[in-house]
Amino acid sequence: MPPSLSELTLADVMNLDRTGLIVHWENIYGSPPSRQTHIELLRQAVGWQLQAQMHGGLDSACRKQLQRGSVALALARGTSLIRQWQGVSYQVTVRDHGFEYEGQEYRSLSAIARKITGTAWNGLVFFGVKK
């Protein structure tokens, strides 16, 4: 039986083979990874969890930001995103806790894209933040 995660060092994680990484992944996440999961992703996920156990993980503000799926951390407050859609120009402004569109605050770009198009869109893709 392999050592528990708390008994490992990051150097140990870097030297684990795929089978060892999968064992730790299953212990951490409760199910096996996809067969297509690259060994480097397995290594990074197990390594991150080891560091989180040692140093406390994410603070509550970071967890909330990730749960919202907001890209506000990646985009500076005040940044304007402009999208042409069916001949009309739409502008969104990045705020501290979301995005402003037509004077109203939204938690996600996807909500704004849905309001503009009437259909479900990935807001990051719609506004060209992510391809």
Regarding pTM above 0.85, the answer is no
In a domain, 24, yes or no: yes
Number of structural domains in the chain? 2
Q: Regarding predicted confidence, which is higher, 63 or 7? A: 7
- 21 and 47 both lie in a single domain: yes
CA dist 92 and 99 (Å) reads: 6
pLDDT of residue 73: 47
In a domain, 46, yes or no: yes
* Residues above pLDDT 90, as percent of the chain: 40
In a domain, 44, yes or no: yes
The per-residue pLDDT for range 9-39, each reduced to its tens digit, is 889 989 999 999 999 999 888 899 888 889 9
In a domain, 131, yes or no: no
In a domain, 38, yes or no: yes
- 50 and 97 both lie in a single domain: no
- 76 and 117 both lie in a single domain: yes
CB-count exposure of residue 120 (10 Å: 0-12, 13-18, 19+): exposed
- 73 and 118 both lie in a single domain: yes
pLDDT of residue 68: 65
- 76 and 122 both lie in a single domain: yes
pLDDT of residue 103: 94
- 9 and 46 both lie in a single domain: yes
pLDDT at 81 over 70: yes
- 72 and 122 both lie in a single domain: yes
Confidence of residue 55 (pLDDT cuts 50, 70, 90): confident
Domain that holds residue 112: 68-126
